[in-house]
Amino acid sequence: MDWKDIESYPNDFLWGASTSSFQIEGAATTDGKGLSVIDVMEKQPDITDFSIAADHYHHLEEDVALMADMGLKVYRFSISWTRIFPQGNGEVNQAGVDFYNRLIDALKKYQIEPLVTIYHFDYPQALVDQYGGWLSRQSITDYHRYATFLLKTFGDRVKYWLTINEQDHVIRFPSRLGIKECTYAEQLRLGYQANHHMCLATARVIQTFHELGMTGKIGPAVSYSWIHPYSANPMDVLASKDATIIKNNYLLDLHCKGKYNKVFWRYLEERHYLPKIEAGDMELLRENPPTMIGVNYYYSETVKAFPTSSEYPIGYHKETPLPTAEAGIFEVVNNEQLSATDWGWEIDPIGLRLTLRELYDRYELPLIITENGIGAYDKLEADDKIQDDYRIDYLQKHLQQLQLAITEGVDILGYCAWSFMDLVSGRNGMEKRYGFVYINRDDFDLKDLRRVKKQSFYWYQKVIRSNGKYIWRD
């Protein structure tokens, strides 16, 4: 396709960036905030915890002013459940409400649309202690109460809502569910029950969103990695199809179609992972689909067939947090056609375009990119400059493919890069940096927490001012 035939980004395209509460706010026990599962999980000795992070809690006005300087049209952030309800249910913490009112009002002052994630990994530890958290149906009621409070409190200024971030990642990380001391297979069985409850909780909130007469958009934010077959061998092609259902599409089939994919249901049945479903559950899901889908895309994967054997019987997984091999279905392998990040994530801009086309064809809902970016070892030079050309190159190529997807007819509301500022990576601490804004600290030395604009900050500023035209400059 000649670049002259490419449609421009829409005039109302939402250029933005993302963060999450526990990764930037700090102030983990300040002003009445309760403990989340993130706060109590076992500390990794070689990286920092989340107690201070980027200290956004005390730098709110400065950080929003930087967003305005960059020209953001939308800012995606999450609200800390335990800053609003310290025990997950019970009494409201007014200091937490005040903090998010200040944040939203500051954004609106600069005409930046808030895109609110209701729940992003930091589940209240008190609810795990009370009844097991997402493993219990009581979690549906408490999530609904919390989310309804947010809709009523902030809905006069917030149009765009994300219900749950990367639900599939929640169920596969025991610490995020509060699960301890069980086998990998039992963890997965419990995880799929929790997944069912999260889908029901989302449907109830979407139902309430409409009952309240809210006119914006609401939906989940899902992690999606395009999955290539390793070869033209039909068994590898089948492996890629099955892996796509198991790793990606099963979740959106539940949210958007209100049903369990038949291939996926058989998969659960064979492995004894079937969730308990009560009367009315599937009707609730079918009647309350999302009105948009948030897409978190970083990399693609390539898979080949992985037959069962005496050594690898059905149900065998490589015990990694996110599935990289399962006997009888697939095994993730390196793709020699792609380069990779320092952490081994294969860089595949066309994979983003394929993902967007697949999701729009399958669900016919507007999409918004809620995360896309590259983690790297950024270095602060003596002259306070950070030359992150690799980030510019990554983002530029992905934005070009996104624009091609728009040209091909995909309805895309906006793009939020991950992340606006450096934040504490869930598994790599401050060593792995994603932001447009450098935070002057490392894992164990707070230094001065100074905010420094990277080269990519100025590049993205030009992209926004040109409404995307700048991405086609050499």
- Please provide the distance, in angstroms rounded to a whole number, between the alpha carbons at the two ends of the chain: 17
Q: Quote the CA–CA distance of 94 and 114 in Å, as a whole number.
A: 20
DSSP state of 274: P
For the record, the structure tokens of 184 come out as 């990998």
Of 423, 402, 425, 422, nearest to 414 (Cα)?
A: 402
**Mapping DSSP to helix (H, G, I), strand (E, B) and coil, where does residue 51 land?**
coil
Of 404, 215, 431, 260, nearest to 341 (Cα)?
A: 431
Q: Which of 166, 301, 326, 431 is catalytic?
A: 166
Contact 99, 30 (CB under 8 A): no
Contacts of 364 (CB under 8 A, 6+ apart): none
Q: Quote the CA–CA distance of 235 and 233 in Å, as a whole number.
A: 5
Contact 191, 277 (CB under 8 A): no
Backbone angles phi, psi at 417, to 5 degrees: -70, 150
Q: Which of 113, 301, 346, 371 is catalytic?
A: 371
DSSP state of 369: E
Torsion, CA 341, CA 19, CA 383, CA 427, rounded to 10: -50
| Residue 166: active-site member | yes
Residue keyed to tokens 């219990």 = 136
How, if at all, do strands 437-439 and 451-453 pair? antiparallel
Residue keyed to tokens 């706060």 = 39
| Residue 371: active-site member | yes
**Mapping DSSP to helix (H, G, I), strand (E, B) and coil, where does residue 90 land?**
coil
The DSSP element (H or E) to which 113 belongs, if any, is strand 113-119
Q: Quote the CA–CA distance of 86 and 125 in Å, as a whole number.
A: 9
Q: Quote the CA–CA distance of 218 and 231 in Å, as a whole number.
A: 38
* Residue length of the chain: 474
CA separation, residue 13 to residues 354, 411, 439, 464 (Å): 20, 11, 28, 10
Torsion, CA 422, CA 423, CA 428, CA 433, rounded to 10: -10
| Residue 139: burial class (beta carbons within 10 Å; 0-12, 13-18, 19+) | buried
Task: Report which residue type is found at 363.
Answer: Y
Question: Which residues belong to the active site?
Answer: 166, 371
